[in-house]
């Protein structure tokens, strides 16, 4: 291998984590073959120049996230994360299965709660979730779908098995980076693209728009879809503009909308225009000051009532947060069995429920070996990694857990799998996770091949969140065989038909003269 | 389209044109200013700032204050950097509506603002660069955006600002005690060659002022810019093609344009300051009227009951 990989094996041996690119014998895995040979041909100067040009493109195109009021480019590493097609097919089925179960769960929770009556999950657990919104109980959303878009976070453990880390069925973000990363990589590492079939990602906006239109309120002929953003200061604002742009729909803020007679309109230069589907990118709490936080200026008053009246589809539906609750997460395998009658395809990470006294005892004893997470957090907020925490931090954590055991879960420290990542002039192993995005149109769950791989840029760090110094990698689902144009198929094809000449306009300058000449002859 | 987006586009048009106009004016005046004795330089700088609409804070405005106020001050929309920053911010808000090449060119321009030396020599380069970059933004918006309503708003803002900028340019003529030579004034508007070819031998203040004010074919002349704005306003409201007008903007722009176009005078030069003043006011009023008609919305959120 190239000099850039000189110290890789030594660094990889330091951690027990599964390496995505190299097997135990430090040979590249089959799916990484192309990438390995492309990287092999590069030296440090090449890699640096390419990385710089990729970063520059991101800055120029405005591929940024907002951090503390500042626009920052989202760091993209030059080594892609590759997943073999066969592994992906399993993952894809697992994600779709999970989305269907969560969809059924949410429908049940806001309706008759049979899942509680049948003793699968305690009622107290649902009603005590911070994101269980009684405001939306008792009606089926127009279009009948609650989880239109989801991002189920999965990780690979030490054995290389995929496990679900958490569910995001509220406002999963990051898909814009998947689209932009692929664009950037096609220019940054073109050598690795040839000769193999990488499943494309660019159909995402089309799929999303189709699903949103399909779930419009019944009876709407040509539904108007909008993307609702909190505004330019939101950290994911770039993603909102990109998706609205790629779908060719308006990007609205709360102040552009008005609800009148339970119908939603947007203010345009030609007066008010009816809105049928809202792709909501703001948190439930801020959506409607009449129902939730009264001081919110990001939302639009009356929008929840409009949804209740079936006049507008909100995607994702309000109240989905209860399925994201990390304590509900521990029940998802049971929910899959209960609603779908299937066994879960992707397993959960082992999790302690701290309300159980024996589990709590054990966790409190082993606090310094476990990861403890708040149940309603996202983006790595409030998470404490036992082995990295100080005594004082652990003491505070212990007090918090004892005060509110419902608010926390504990998991063993997972050694997330590693992928070579450019750092300090060479490639070294860095931990990654994966967020596949799924789009649900009510009949079918489509999973974007690949998804977002986030990578912790610091050595040994397990925190991949962009707000905490994480970067990303382009994620390739690679199918084994080379899918060039099949030769057999080519021979079968008939030669292209000669184009009709009569259907075009005449371009000879003296066309009429010629015609009359011909007539005379 | 959304009112908020229309407003952003209108202001992208205005700010980009403002950056362009300011860069041209600064470029020409800098040359003159450098040749003046210091007290005069200060006085002239002050007056120039006044014409460009930024009130100097200190008594003794020197050259570096002038450069700061007209070129580099990011906090004020009268400076080039400020106007380009504001244009970029508006494009960011309307990013899904402008084409990605327009957004990218504004974005890279914004990043490029810091890469210039802020002394007199650096400012020459800077002005030249700004003229180039704004031309690129204009070209890209004309060739990569559909010429629909959104583009009309962009061009409307651009035309109004252009009329205003040419008026300011003409007003700066009197700033210099000796008067800025008309050759320089025409160069400033990029009109020198066109003027020579049109007017041939007859060459004088009167003709040059006429050219920049009244020429029907030169795109940076005030009459041309105003009639561009009129066209946009008509396109935005095609219902009033035959009789009458719907908004004040059409009336203000139309009356200003027709007055100038058909005005007969023996002594344009003495009337010039009055005309320039009125044009600047007309542009401001027209801009307000456009905002009132197309962009304004109730500022606070209002809940309108269940039954309409």
pLDDT, position A113: 92
CB burial readout A121-153, b (16+ within 10 A) else e: beeebbeebebbbebbeeeebbbebbbbbbbbb
Test mutation, A73, A251, A259, A269, chain B, max B CBs within 10 A: A269
Give the confidence band of B270 by pLDDT, cuts at 50, 70, 90: confident
Q: Is B306 on the interface with A (CB under 8 A)?
A: yes
C-alpha span between B92 and B263 (Å, rounded): 43
pLDDT, position A511: 62
Residues B16/B158, Cβ–Cβ less than 8 Å: yes
* pTM of this prediction exceeds 0.80: yes
Nearest chain B Cα to A233, which residue?
Answer: B93
Tokens of A471: 């970067």
Q: Is B238 on the interface with A (CB under 8 A)?
A: no
Residues A231/B273, Cβ–Cβ less than 8 Å: no
Contacts of A232 in chain B (CB under 8 A): 89, 92-93
Neighbours of A21 (CB within 10 A): 26
In sequence order, the 6+-apart residues with CB closer than 8 A to the CB of B267 are: none
Q: Which of B6, B95, B308 sits opposite A269 (nearest CB)?
A: B6
Domains of chain A: 3-8+19-349+414-479 (no CATH), 351-413 (3.30.1490.270)
> How would you classify the pairing of strands A426-435 and A452-456?
antiparallel
Cβ within 8 Å, pair B2-A266: yes
Of the listed ranges A463-467, B70-74, B114-118, B191-195, the least confidently predicted one is A463-467
pLDDT, position B56: 67
> How would you classify the pairing of strands A64-67 and A70-73?
antiparallel
| Centroid of chain to Cα B152 | 16
In sequence order, the 6+-apart residues with CB closer than 8 A to the CB of B139 are: none
Cβ within 8 Å, pair A267-B303: no
The SS3 call for residue A324 is: helix
Cβ within 8 Å, pair B92-A62: yes
What's the pLDDT tens digit per position in B197-206? 887 766 677 8
Tokens of B210: 């006429």
pLDDT, position B158: 95
Tokens of B8: 């952003």
Test mutation, B10, B93, B96, B133, chain A, max A CBs within 10 A: B96
In sequence order, the 6+-apart residues with CB closer than 8 A to the CB of A381 are: A374
Is pLDDT of B195 > 50? yes
Of the listed ranges A88-92, B97-101, B172-176, the least confidently predicted one is B172-176
pLDDT, position B136: 96
C-alpha span between A352 and A401 (Å, rounded): 12
Cβ within 8 Å, pair A301-B6: no
Nearest to A251 by CA among A283, A228, A280: A228
Nearest chain A Cα to B93, which residue?
Answer: A232
C-alpha span between A96 and A88 (Å, rounded): 12
Is pLDDT of A485 > 50? no
pLDDT, position A514: 63
Q: Which of B92, B103, B303 sits opposite A301 (nearest CB)?
A: B303
Is pLDDT of A510 > 80? no
Give B145-210 as a 3 state SS string.
CCCCHHHHHHHHHHHHHHHHHHHHHHHHHHCCCCCCCHHHHHHHCCCHHHHHHHHCCCCCHHHHHH
What's the pLDDT tens digit per position in A202-250? 999 999 999 999 999 998 889 999 999 998 888 888 899 999 999 999 9
> How would you classify the pairing of strands A408-412 and A418-423?
unpaired
C-alpha span between A289 and A139 (Å, rounded): 20
The SS3 call for residue B1 is: coil
% of chain A beyond a pLDDT of 70? 91
Contacts of B238 in chain A (CB under 8 A): none
Contacts of B301 in chain A (CB under 8 A): 254-255, 289, 297, 300-301
Contacts of B305 in chain A (CB under 8 A): 261
Cα within 13 Å of Cα(A100), Cβ side: 20
Is pLDDT of B238 > 60? yes
State the ipTM, two decimals.
0.73
Residues A150/A169, Cβ–Cβ less than 8 Å: yes
What's the pLDDT tens digit per position in A333-380? 999 999 999 999 999 999 998 888 888 888 888 888 898 988 877 666
C-alpha span between B132 and B121 (Å, rounded): 17
Give B66-133 as a 3 state SS string.
HHHHHHHCCCCCCCHHHHHHHHHHHHHHCCCCCCHHHHHHHHHHHHHCCCCCCCHHHHHHHHHHHHHH
C-alpha span between A496 and B66 (Å, rounded): 68
- Which residues partner with A421 through β-bridges? A428
Axis crossing angle, helix B248-261 with helix B205-214, rounded to the nearest 10: 150
First-to-last alpha carbon distance for chain B, in angstroms, is 23
d(CA B93, nearest CA chain A) in Å: 6
pLDDT, position A483: 46
C-alpha span between A231 and A233 (Å, rounded): 6
Cβ within 8 Å, pair B2-A59: no
Residues A426/A408, Cβ–Cβ less than 8 Å: no
C-alpha span between B180 and A31 (Å, rounded): 71
Size of interface A-B (CB pairs under 8 A): 82
In sequence order, the 6+-apart residues with CB closer than 8 A to the CB of A186 are: A193
Tokens of B39: 């007290």
Cβ within 8 Å, pair B5-A250: yes
C-alpha span between A487 and A348 (Å, rounded): 45
Q: What is the mean pLDDT of chain A?
A: 87
Q: Is B296 on the interface with A (CB under 8 A)?
A: no
Q: Is A244 on the interface with B (CB under 8 A)?
A: yes
Give the confidence band of B301 by pLDDT, cuts at 50, 70, 90: very low
Q: Which helix (H) or strand (E) holds B263?
A: none
C-alpha span between B30 and B46 (Å, rounded): 13
Q: Which of B236, B297, B307 sits opposite A267 (nearest CB)?
A: B297
Q: How many residues does chain A have?
A: 521
Cβ within 8 Å, pair B297-A255: yes
Tokens of B167: 């008026």
Q: Is A300 on the interface with B (CB under 8 A)?
A: yes
Axis crossing angle, helix A175-188 with helix A204-214, rounded to the nearest 10: 160
- Which residues partner with A412 through β-bridges? A370
Tokens of B257: 């344009």
Test mutation, A60, A61, A62, A63, chain B, max B CBs within 10 A: A62
Contacts of B96 in chain A (CB under 8 A): 241-242, 244-245, 249-251
**Can you tell me the mean pLDDT for B218-231?**
93
Contacts of B294 in chain A (CB under 8 A): 269
Q: Which helix (H) or strand (E) holds A70?
A: strand A70-73
Cβ within 8 Å, pair B111-A60: yes
Cβ within 8 Å, pair A262-B3: no
Distances in whole angstroms, Cα of residue B177 to Cα of each of A257, A315, A480, B45, B66: 55, 66, 80, 12, 18
Identify each DSSP E strand in A141-229 by its residue range: 149-156, 162-168, 197-198, 225-228
pLDDT, position B186: 85
Axis crossing angle, helix B120-144 with helix B3-34, rounded to the nearest 10: 150
Distances in whole angstroms, Cα of residue B152 to Cα of each of A42, A510, B116, B161, B253: 49, 40, 33, 14, 16
Q: What angle do CA A410, A412, A415 make, to 5 degrees?
A: 135
Nearest chain A Cα to B292, which residue?
Answer: A269
Contacts of A301 in chain B (CB under 8 A): 301-303
d(CA B295, nearest CA chain A) in Å: 7
Residues B27/B124, Cβ–Cβ less than 8 Å: yes
The SS3 call for residue B9 is: helix
Highest mean pLDDT pick, A176-190, A334-348, B18-32, B226-240: A334-348
If 0-12 CB within 10 Å is exposed, 13-18 middle and 19+ buried, where does residue A67 land? middle
Cβ within 8 Å, pair A245-B100: yes
Q: What is the mean pLDDT of chain B?
A: 86
pLDDT, position A486: 44
Nearest chain A Cα to B291, which residue?
Answer: A269
In sequence order, the 6+-apart residues with CB closer than 8 A to the CB of A94 are: A162, A164, A344, A345, A346
Q: Which of A60, A252, A253 sits opposite B104 (nearest CB)?
A: A60
Give the confidence band of A77 by pLDDT, cuts at 50, 70, 90: very high
Contacts of B105 in chain A (CB under 8 A): none
Give residue for tokens 């005030």.
B222
Specify the DSSP class assigned to residue A22: B
> How would you classify the pairing of strands A470-479 and A452-456?
antiparallel
């Amino acid at each position: 291998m190239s000099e850039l990989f000189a110290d890789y094996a030594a660094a990889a041996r330091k951690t027990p984590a599964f390496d995505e690119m190299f097997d135990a014998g430090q040979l590249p895995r089959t799916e990484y073959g192309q990438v390995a040979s492309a990287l092999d041909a590069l030296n440090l100067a090449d890699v640096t120049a390419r990385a710089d040009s990729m970063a520059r493109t991101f800055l120029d195109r405005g591929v940024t996230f907002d951090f503390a009021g500042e626009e920052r480019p989202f760091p993209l590493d030059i080594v892609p994360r590759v997943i073999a097609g066969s592994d992906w097919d399993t993952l894809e089925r697992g994600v779709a299965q999970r989305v269907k179960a969560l969809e059924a769960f949410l429908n049940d929770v806001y309706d008759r709660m049979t899942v509680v009556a049948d003793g699968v999950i305690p009622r107290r657990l649902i009603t005590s979730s911070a994101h269980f919104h009684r405001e939306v109980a008792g009606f089926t959303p127009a279009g009948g779908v609650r989880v239109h878009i989801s991002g189920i976070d999965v990780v690979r453990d030490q054995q290389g098995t995929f496990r679900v880390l958490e569910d995001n069925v509220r406002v999963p973000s990051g898909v814009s980076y998947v689209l932009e990363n692929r664009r950037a990589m096609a220019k940054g590492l073109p050598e690795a693209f040839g000769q193999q079939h990488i499943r494309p990602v660019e159909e995402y906006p089309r799929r999303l728009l189709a699903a949103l239109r399909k779930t419009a309120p019944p009876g709407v002929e040509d539904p108007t879809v909008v993307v609702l953003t909190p505004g330019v200061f939101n950290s994911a604002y770039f993603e909102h503009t990109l998706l609205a742009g790629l779908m060719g729909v308006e990007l609205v803020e709360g102040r552009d909308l008005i609800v009148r007679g339970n119908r939603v309109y947007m203010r345009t230069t030609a007066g008010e225009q009816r809105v049928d589907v809202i792709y909501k990118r703001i948190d439930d709490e801020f959506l409607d000051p009449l129902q939730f936080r009264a001081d919110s200026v990001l939302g639009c008053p009356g929008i929840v009532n409009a949804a209740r009246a079936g006049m507008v589809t909100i995607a994702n539906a309000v109240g989905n947060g209860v399925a994201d609750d990390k304590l509900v997460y521990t029940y998802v395998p049971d929910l899959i069995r209960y609603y779908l009658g299937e066994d879960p395809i992707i397993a959960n990470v082992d999790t302690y429920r701290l309300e159980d006294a024996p589990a709590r005892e054990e966790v409190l004893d082993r606090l310094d070996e476990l990861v403890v997470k708040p149940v309603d957090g996202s983006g790595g907020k409030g998470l404490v990694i036992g082995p990295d925490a100080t005594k004082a931090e652990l003491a505070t954590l212990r007090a918090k857990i004892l005060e509110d055991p419902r608010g926390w879960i504990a998991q063993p420290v997972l050694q997330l799998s590693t992928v070579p990542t450019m750092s300090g002039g060479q490639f070294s192993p860095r931990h990654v996770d994966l967020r596949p995005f799924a789009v649900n149109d009510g009949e079918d769950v489509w999973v974007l091949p690949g998804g977002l791989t986030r990578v912790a840029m610091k050595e040994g760090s397990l925190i991949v969140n962009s707000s905490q110094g994480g970067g990303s990698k382009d994620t390739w689902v690679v199918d084994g065989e080379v899918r060039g144009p099949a030769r057999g198929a080519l021979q079968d094809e008939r030669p292209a038909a000669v184009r009709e000449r009569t259907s075009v306009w005449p371009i000879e300058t003296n066309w009429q003269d010629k015609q009359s000449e011909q007539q005379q002859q | 389209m959304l009112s908020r987006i229309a407003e952003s586009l209108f202001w992208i048009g205005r700010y980009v044109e403002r950056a362009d106009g300011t860069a041209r004016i600064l470029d020409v005046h800098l040359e003159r200013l450098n040749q003046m004795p210091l007290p005069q330089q200060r006085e002239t700088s002050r007056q120039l700032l006044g014409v460009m609409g930024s009130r100097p804070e200190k008594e003794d405005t020197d050259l570096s204050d002038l450069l700061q106020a007209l070129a580099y001050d990011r906090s004020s929309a009268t400076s080039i950097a400020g106007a380009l920053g504001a244009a970029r911010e508006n494009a960011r808000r309307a990013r899904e509506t402008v084409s990605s090449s327009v957004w990218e060119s504004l974005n890279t321009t914004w990043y490029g603002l810091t890469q210039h030396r802020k002394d007199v020599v650096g400012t020459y380069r800077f002005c030249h660069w700004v003229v180039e970059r704004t031309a690129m933004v204009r070209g890209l918006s004309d060739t990569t955006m559909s010429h629909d309503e959104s583009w009309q708003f962009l061009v409307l803002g651009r035309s109004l600002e252009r009329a205003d900028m040419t008026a300011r340019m003409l007003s700066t003529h009197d700033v210099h005690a000796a008067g800025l030579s008309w050759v320089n004034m025409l160069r400033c508007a990029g009109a020198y060659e066109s003027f020579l070819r049109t007017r041939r031998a007859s060459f004088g203040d009167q003709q040059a002022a006429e050219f920049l004010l009244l020429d029907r074919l030169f795109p940076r002349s005030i009459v041309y810019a105003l009639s561009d704005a009129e066209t946009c306003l008509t396109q935005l409201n095609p219902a009033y093609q035959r009789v009458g007008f719907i908004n004040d903007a059409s009336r203000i722009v139309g009356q200003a344009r027709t007055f100038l176009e058909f005005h007969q005078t023996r002594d344009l030069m003495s009337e010039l300051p009055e005309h320039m003043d009125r044009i600047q006011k007309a542009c401001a009023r027209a801009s307000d009227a456009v905002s009132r008609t197309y962009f304004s919305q109730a500022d606070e959120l209002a809940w309108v009951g269940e039954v309409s």
